[in-house]
Amino acid sequence: MNVAFTSDNIAGASDSVLAAIVKAAQGNAMPYGNDEGTVQVTNMLADLFECEVDVFLVSTGTAANVLSLSAMTPQWGNVFCHQESHLLNDESSAPEFFTGGARLVGLGGANAKIDPLQLRKAATQKIGDVHTCQPGALSLSQVTEVGSVYSLEEIKALTDIAKEVGIATHMDGARFANALVALKCSPAEMTWKAGIDIVSFGATKNGVMAAEAIVVFNRELVKNLDVLRKRGGHLHSKMRLLSSQMAAYLTDELWLKNAMHANEMMALMQDGLCGIPEIKINTPAQANMLFCTLPDGMEDYLKSKGFAFYGGRWESGVVRLVTSFRTLKEDVEAFVESARRFNTLAAKQSRI
């Protein structure tokens, strides 16, 4: 594979995570989460979030998101999310399937962050009308789908509305660590202290092979996840595969270190690209993802030089760049250098 900035899901796993899998696989262990490792992970996450939590480990981000929603919303509920969210655009009809038919309502808002005014309007109309889907849940993505990060105040503004209308709040934290590093706050501050009832605490994109923790803060609102997970076929018999990854991920701040590296690589890339006037930064990257618009020909040029990334899915010229815990500094520098060179070449050509 080329030097790739396509996604953070193309990287493998950190060494300590792999070592943990190998170690956990020795000997016998009770199945279905009745092993010591799973208890340990729950305790680690309780410490991390500074509160009592229920934890449900699953192996995909889609499972974490849709199981969370299925525990929160009635079957005739509206799930308010951003119209550009992963939930709405990249998880097939899994949300409808798991919730038994709840409806995703895609709201607008700059930088893929939900506009509170739109949320309030959508969540307060036709209340109690049997003909209309009723408010069911709020789901926001932190990091958002375009690489921006909600501030704590922005999260609070949305969850406040949710509390007013009496619906539960979910955070899709597929890139939780990257957001946390960007905000320099505590996990508690970014979640339950800001009004979040349940989080999909993602690890797969940031150093493990497959492990996501559904972390429940509000046990009143979010129920039956043990059965819902089993019913969804997401209860692993050898749970230690998941718990060992998650434990290693949380040990010695690996999760923060990995995210810090990914974010730093993106900052380096953004700095470099900012210096090229022909490139337009669409949304300033706060974490490890950047959307920018390249001048004509640059995308093809960069790809011809061996760089892989996504383009052609959005407006003309728009590309997405993602760094990971494994991204090499020299690869970022080489990418920026190539972009710069294309511009110089283009400038020369246009002068001719």
Instruction: List residues binding a copy of itself (CB under 8 A).
Output: 1, 4, 7, 9-13, 18, 21-22, 24-32, 58-63, 66-67, 74-77, 89-94, 96-98, 100-104, 130-134, 204-205, 209-210, 224, 226-227, 230-238, 240-241, 326
Q: Find the shortest distance in angstroms from Cβ 139 to a copy of itself.
A: 15
Taking the C-alpha atoms of residue 298 and residue 295, their distance in angstroms, rounded to an integer, is 6
Which CB sits closer to a copy of itself, 57 or 157?
57
CB-based contacts of 33: which residues, under 8 Å, 6+ apart?
57, 235, 236, 239, 243
Tokens of 69: 């929603």
Taking the C-alpha atoms of residue 339 and residue 15, their distance in angstroms, rounded to an integer, is 32
Which CB sits closer to a copy of itself, 227 or 347?
227
Q: Find the shortest distance in angstroms from Cβ 22 to a copy of itself.
A: 5
Which CB sits closer to a copy of itself, 25 or 39?
25
Tokens of 198: 């349940």
Taking the C-alpha atoms of residue 185 and residue 166, their distance in angstroms, rounded to an integer, is 27
Which CB sits closer to a copy of itself, 157 or 269?
269
CB-based contacts of 126: which residues, under 8 Å, 6+ apart?
132, 134
Which CB sits closer to a copy of itself, 76 or 156?
76
Q: Find the shortest distance in angstroms from Cβ 221 to a copy of itself.
A: 16
Residue for token pair 């690890």: 203
Q: Find the shortest distance in angstroms from Cβ 277 to a copy of itself.
A: 31
Which CB sits closer to a copy of itself, 133 or 181?
133
Q: Find the shortest distance in angstroms from Cβ 296 to a copy of itself.
A: 23
Taking the C-alpha atoms of residue 185 and residue 161, their distance in angstroms, rounded to an integer, is 23
- Output the furthest CA–CA distance in the chain (Å, rounded): 73
Which CB sits closer to a copy of itself, 27 or 277?
27
Q: Find the shortest distance in angstroms from Cβ 215 to a copy of itself.
A: 17
CB-based contacts of 4: which residues, under 8 Å, 6+ apart?
10, 307, 308, 309
Three-class secondary structure of residue 339 per DSSP: helix
State which H helix or E strand residue 250 sits in.
helix 240-250
Q: Find the shortest distance in angstroms from Cβ 338 to a copy of itself.
A: 18
